Structure 1
């Protein structure tokens, strides 16, 4: 835009005229002792009047000096009063303009300048003001078009219409349950060795006081086995500037990367096949379900099978402490009805925690649908943490340094030891026909 300027005490006339446009709203000055609104047009007119008075007194003082060689006391007093009034009005205009520029912006957000303020603060206008009457001509001040289009990349915020930004909405996260079921532990090595009893043949019996034959011999054998510490890791690239400019984003990234580790960990603890870098999980090492002899169940349901799995663990001398089910299978159990349409297990009007046959049920999306795990979970297996989950940021990756990029890496190390596979019973509901 082009601003034509006349000499009015260093203030562009076009700016004063813009301030005095009719129809502008009344704006509160928010001064502690005033408690009133001031019309911005009236305030601008008063400032122009005060400026003209100062100019008039300056011309009068110049005339008195030329004719009398000095300034009269009356003229000096009037000039001082006019200068004081003009200074106060100028300060009020500046204060009001700042309030208008910030109005509507979010707390702590970017300050948006009005067109008038851009003109008044431009270096060209300031330089012209310093030259006083010696300056003549016009000024070209670059001001972007006043539109509602965004000038801030993909953000909807504009100089005139700042967006109301709310906290970011992350994608849903899967609840993790498997780690909490197992005994915790720590290690400082990359290999975990442990002894596992493989044979127990006990032949103890009564013997005579002076037996003619050797006393009975029993057989107990242990095997030394080991498992590796596995590393779970992933990373993402990010710009160095975005992490510095948006601290909240960095915390969100930390949370997402740590969640990624937890997600992979749950899969490994439950289903890892032990090949390559994978852990050997609970299901691959668990004992397959075999219906215990001595119990006959007609029309077997999911509820029946889980109770029989508990019996199998008890007969192996490892009484079960809980079940692990997929949410779909747990819902099918809760929805089981009798021939009269009444729920057998659940009470829709009540809030009952997931328990079955007196044992807690851990519901995990990592468990395949139609599969169950029952047993003495904490007694059977233990987690050994080598390195807790951590998130690291580094520029020392490929050409990150020269591209202002960073690599954000999340990593953890752990091992899983299943000492007693007989304490874990795995099976399926494939033959249950919806019950």
Structure 2
């Protein structure tokens, strides 16, 4: 009797275990059925195969009756779905999605260098004023006792370098800012780069009219062609310009030229076929006559600038580059738009124009 009771108890436990396992499997199947269909089971418009079957005319012909039968559903659209992007199609409606690479491919950017050559400064005013000596009559001479001493003379001028603003704007939609936040950072980076390109052009060639800076080259001293000698190379011309700066009692600190001219300079060889400027195998610092060379496409080919740039000029930042976004500009709020502004304020003071020499390599 005891054995029979034990057997009945064991059978009951096995039955409970089996029903529990079956219940778990049914629950898992229900969860799978509730999940969204995978991308490869969707049509281009987002409908599933089941949706297509229910909407088919063959299925609807059976829906109202209780007869047994079969419904044939057209499946061609499944096998002929968008596999590539073509006319009237897009990556979003393609069964085979595009492999989107992260980020945005940017164009090449100029390496900015001119600002680094000039003495830095800051200001909280709207302009920079400085007194500049414009003339010196030196009549100093040995004199005898009790005789009249000669008079010398100094003349001065008050020079003003106004603070100028360099700026530009971008229009952005609020939706693209929400959907692609990385684009805002991209606009910031590219917009700032564009601003700095204009700054470099202004530092070199600004003519001082309107809202332009008065740059280095318009204020520089023109190279003295009388210093040239027959047969001078580009290397010789640069040395003559350094000589001219030295004659003005200054010491040059840098050279600015176009990359094409620097290439011609570095490819110069002596009679033995050896490169004069640098060893192409070992490399070397970009220096000529002990001075660093800065090559920039902002400088036209064939032109150069040599000067004591660390003391001849100073660049004052009134407001460094800032990036701001507003939705209150014009009708931006009504149109879900935003305006991005990138700007800076700065002034350039050239104290000693005679210590900056500019000219052409060819006479």
Whether the TM-score (by the shorter chain) exceeds 0.5 is yes
* Partner residue in 1 for 2:230: 298
* Partner residue in 1 for 2:111: 175
* Partner residue in 2 for 1:184: 120
- Tell me the distance in 1 between the aligned counterparts of 2:280 and 2:134: 47
* Partner residue in 2 for 1:3: none
Alignment of 1:33-432 (within 5 A): 82=19, 85-91=22-28, 94=31, 101=38, 112=39, 114-115=41-42, 146-148=81-83, 156-158=91-93, 160-166=95-101, 167-208=103-144, 210-213=145-148, 215-291=149-225, 297-431=229-363
Instruction: Tell me the SS of whatever aligns to 2:110.
Output: coil
Instruction: Tell me the SS of whatever aligns to 1:403.
Output: coil
RMSD of Structure 2 on Structure 1 (CA): 3.4
Displacement after TM superposition at 1:190 (Å): 1.5
> Looking at CA atoms only, which structure, 1 or 2, has the larger radius of gyration?
1
Instruction: Tell me the SS of whatever aligns to 1:348.
Output: coil
Instruction: Tell me the SS of whatever aligns to 2:354.
Output: helix
- Tell me the distance in 2 between the aligned counterparts of 1:147 and 1:154: 8
Go from structure 1 to structure 2 and tell me whether the alpha carbon gap of 1:89 and 1:147 turns closer, same or farther (over 3 Å shift). Answer: farther
CA offsets, 1:54-106, max 9 Å, x none? xxxxxxxxxxxxxxxxxxxx99x9699547524434426746996983xxxxx
* Partner residue in 1 for 2:8: none
Displacement after TM superposition at 1:394 (Å): 1.3
CA offsets, 1:158-216, max 9 Å, x none? 564233222321111111110000011111122211111111222223333x4232x22
- Tell me the distance in 1 between the aligned counterparts of 2:35 and 2:255: 65
- Tell me the distance in 1 between the aligned counterparts of 2:26 and 2:247: 94
Go from structure 1 to structure 2 and tell me whether the alpha carbon gap of 1:337 and 1:120 turns closer, same or farther (over 3 Å shift). Answer: closer
| Alignment gaps of 5+ in structure 1 | 1-73, 102-111, 126-134, 138-142
Go from structure 1 to structure 2 and tell me whether the alpha carbon gap of 1:404 and 1:313 turns closer, same or farther (over 3 Å shift). Answer: same
TM-score by length of 2: 0.79
Go from structure 1 to structure 2 and tell me whether the alpha carbon gap of 1:312 and 1:92 turns closer, same or farther (over 3 Å shift). Answer: farther
* Partner residue in 1 for 2:7: none
* Partner residue in 1 for 2:70: none
- Tell me the distance in 2 between the aligned counterparts of 1:233 and 1:352: 38
Corresponding residue pairs, total: 327
- Tell me the distance in 2 between the aligned counterparts of 1:157 and 1:163: 9
CA offsets, 1:242-301, max 9 Å, x none? 1111122111111000001100000000011111111110000000111466xx733011
Counterpart contact for 1:292–1:312, Cα < 8 Å: no
CA offsets, 1:217-262, max 9 Å, x none? 2212211010211111111212111111112211111100000110
